[in-house]
Structure 1
Amino acid sequence: MYKFSIIDKISLILTIIGAIILGLVGLINFNIIQIIFGEPVNLIGRIIYIIIGVAGIDMVILLFKTKNSCKTK
Structure 2
Amino acid sequence: MKGDCIVKKLALILVIIGAINWGLIGLFQFDLVATIFGGGSQEGAFARVIYTIVGIAGLVSIAFLFDSNKE
TM-score (norm: length of structure 2): 0.80
Question: 5+ residue gaps in structure 1?
Answer: none
Residues 4-43 of structure 1 aligned to structure 2 (within 5 Å):
5-36=5-36, 37-38=38-39, 39-43=41-45
Cα distance in 2 for partners of 1:14, 1:48 equals 9
Cα distance in 1 for partners of 2:15, 2:6 equals 14
Contact 2:15 2:57 in 1 (8 A): yes
Residues 41-60 of structure 1 aligned to structure 2 (within 5 Å):
41-60=43-62
- The C-alpha deviation readout for 1:14-59, integer Å capped at 9, x for no partner, is 1011000000001110111221222242111111001000111111
Question: 5+ residue gaps in structure 2?
Answer: none
Which of 1 and 2 has greater Rg?
A: 1
- The alignment yields a C-alpha RMSD, in angstroms, of 1.8
Figure out how many residues of one structure are paired with residues of the other and give that number. Answer: 66
TM-score (norm: length of structure 1): 0.78
Structure with more contact order per residue of length (Cα contacts < 8 Å, sep ≥ 6): 1
Cα distance in 1 for partners of 2:18, 2:61 equals 12
